[in-house]
Amino acid sequence: MEIGMVGLGKMGGNMTKKLLKNNHKVVVYDVNQNIVEKYKEKGALPSNSLQNLVKSIEREKKIIWVMVPAGEIVENTVLELSNYLSEGDIIIDGGNSNYKDSMMLAEKLKENNIDFLDVGTSGGVWGLKEGYCLMVGGPEEAYLEVESIFKDLAPKNGYNYVGKNGSGHFVKMVHNGIEYAMMEAYAEGFEILKSKDNFDLNLDEIADLWNHGGVIRSWLLELTAGSLKENPNLEGVQDFVEDSGEGRWTVMESIEQEVPASIIALSLFKRYRSRQDDSFSAKILSAMRNAFGGHEIKKE
């Protein structure tokens, strides 16, 4: 099948490689033309603008996959593409967009009878090798039109149609909220293990052990084992943890829906705490303990 790919970063670039490997014809565009040339050498057809990308696609019903940063960039890219597309064409947003933004874009594209699919994409940099888990929202007929693309990007049983517009990114949002909580639980558990000095535990071996029949086995634990084997004390790794947005969106959704999500919320707040060089709230706690109980205040 012929498809246009907008955005050739880590995800979009690897998806392009995977599609080319599976004999799809891929027309590519990125704001960095040096990257476009790199993918031309891999067999993709280059383009130097969004308009040129659309014109370069020979397929009557054009399909364009957008893999650019969520928010204003996605909106601007999708709306500009819509100026060059025709009735029945399909735009896919496979990034980490907020599901409400996806619903809004779908409504705007409907005005020109252009179909929009919001695809929650999980797999990260391992997607090229392992395949991507794809959660697809939007018109079902559009999903069926491009299903062969999803099939070649995903592992077996790794893609599915989940519902109407917005649902794909909504499901991915919750997926990432759960991911935050799982990561925090692993991190806290390994910190407890490491604190037991007199046992001289080998953490990477324990992680590997747990992954063989343990109830908590997972791909995240597999990756953790690899990181600890390579760098047992994680030397040079700063205790600063960023978030890409989905965790906080999940917490906000839980508040809107009045559904308790205490573990996911705490895992998000732990990430915020990791970014503080100096915690004033911790100093307040220390001062209060000293005031009511005479507990020692540790000086800087």
Length of the chain: 300
Burial status of residue 93 (CB atoms within 10 A of its CB: 0-12, 13-18, 19 or more): buried
Residues 39 and 180 placed together within one structural domain of the fold: no
The CATH number that applies at residue 103 is: 3.40.50.720
Which is nearest to 119 in space by CA: 86, 72, 165? 165
Distance of alpha carbon 231 from alpha carbon 237, whole angstroms: 9
Q: For the chain, what is the largest distance between any 2 Cα atoms, rounded to a whole number of angstroms?
A: 78
Domain boundary among 111, 135, 164: 164
Domains in the chain: how many in total?
2
Q: How high is the pLDDT of residue 145?
A: 96
Cα(98)–Cα(76) distance, rounded to whole angstroms?
15
**Of 251 and 125, more confident:** 251
Residue 292 maps to a domain: no
Within this chain, do residues 6 and 144 fall inside the same structural domain, yes or no?
yes
Q: Is residue 65 part of a domain?
A: yes
Residues 275 and 184 in one domain: yes
Q: How many Cα atoms within 13 Å fall on the side-chain side of residue 4?
A: 33
| CATH code for the domain of 248 | 1.10.1040.10
Q: Given 109, 133, 164, which residue is the final one in a domain?
A: 164
The answer to the question of residue 296 being in a domain is no
Residues 21 and 116 in one domain: yes
Same domain membership, residue 144 and residue 79: yes
pLDDT (0 to 100) of residue 119: 98
Sheet holding 133-137, edge to edge: 45-46, 25-29, 2-6, 63-66, 90-93, 115-122, 133-137, 159-163
- By annotation, the residues acting in catalysis are 172, 179
* Rounded percentage of the chain residues whose pLDDT exceeds 70: 100
pLDDT in tens, 1-48: 999 999 999 999 999 999 999 999 999 999 999 999 999 999 999 999
Whether 299 is covered by a domain: the verdict is no
Q: What angle do CA 198, 201, 206 make, to 5 degrees?
A: 155
The reply to whether 46 and 105 lie within a common domain is yes
Percent of the chain with pLDDT over 90: 85
For residue range 200-255, list pLDDT tens digits in order: 999 999 999 999 999 999 999 999 999 999 999 898 888 888 887 899 999 999 99
Q: Is the pLDDT of residue 276 over 90?
A: no
Residue 291 confidence (pLDDT): 86
Domain assignment of residue 9, yes or no:
yes
User: Would you state the pLDDT for residue 277?
Assistant: 86
Average pLDDT for residues 115-124, to the nearest whole number? 96
Range of 264's domain? 172-285
Instruction: Please state, rounded to an integer, the average pLDDT across all residues of the chain.
Output: 94
Domain end: 131, 164, 197, which one?
Answer: 164
